[in-house]
Amino acid sequence: MSKELHDKIAIVTGGTSGIGRDTAVLFAKAGAKVVVAGRREAEGKETVELIRSVGADGLFVKADVSRAADVEALVQKTVEKFGRLDIAFNNAGIEEAFVPITDESEENWDRVIDINLKGTWLCLRSEIRQMLKQTGGGAIVNMSSVAGLMGAAGSAAYAASKHGVIGLTKSTALETAKNGIRINAVCPAVIETPMGARLFSDPGIQKFILGLHPIGRFGKPMEIAEAVLWMCSDRASFMTGNSLVLDGGFLAGPNLPV
């Protein structure tokens, strides 16, 4: 792999498993020094060991992205360790159980919005503040979803949070474009991650959801990681304020028999 992120400093939130872990390791292979953030310390340190195993430098910072103090400390520790911040993948997020809005609790709504939407906002705010202090701009990718581009019956809080991430992405991209900071979002359909396994553990539901992916399978974390790497590299230097859909045909329409 070419070292297209040579000497870049990157933060990956939610880097303890799945898409976040694969992206952190891919960034490292591309030459970046990577700070992994998450709430699960053991898994976060495992990701750092994987980063070091490919010859790169890494750091784990325990952080809850819904807490402003944690996010500010994350960026501060990144700069203390590596001197600057060039790249961020705001990937941390949670799912919710499928329930109609009439049965959804205020506690569940707050939990999903706090992590998925407020957490992305807090990360953007701290990351952009740091990038504006530096020369050279930066690149940020936010984790949205196909649920950020369509309705999701039984998942109002999740869909609202992911729609909000796209609005944040567009608005902050407009604010920072002239400063050389590019901000985009990635919108996957179902990916083979622990989160996906929790949501679709029932074989009947899994079969139904799989049928919504015309390509005939769920995505793999590395397929999303490769796209995020591209968006954070100079190869995507003309891209900002956009959402990249990786969905196996999910949004193209119903997968009807022909």
Residues catalogued as catalytic: 144, 158, 162
- Report the b/e string of 228-258 with b at 16+ CB within 10 A: bbebbbeebeeebbbbbbbbbebeeeebeee
What residues contact 170, with CB distance under 8 A and at least 6 apart? 241
Q: How many CB atoms lie within 10 A of CB 41?
A: 12
Q: What does the alpha-carbon distance between residue 65 and residue 124 come to, in Å, rounded to a whole number?
A: 11
Percent of the chain as helix, strand, coil, to the nearest 5: 50, 15, 35
Sheet holding 58-62, edge to edge: 58-62, 33-38, 9-13, 87-90, 138-143, 181-188, 243-246
Rounded to whole angstroms, the Cα distance separating 244 from 165 reads 13
Residue 152 CA to residue 86 CA, distance in Å, equals 34
The CB density around residue 101, as the number of other CB atoms within 10 Å, is 11
Q: Which structure tokens are listed for 135?
A: 């020369």
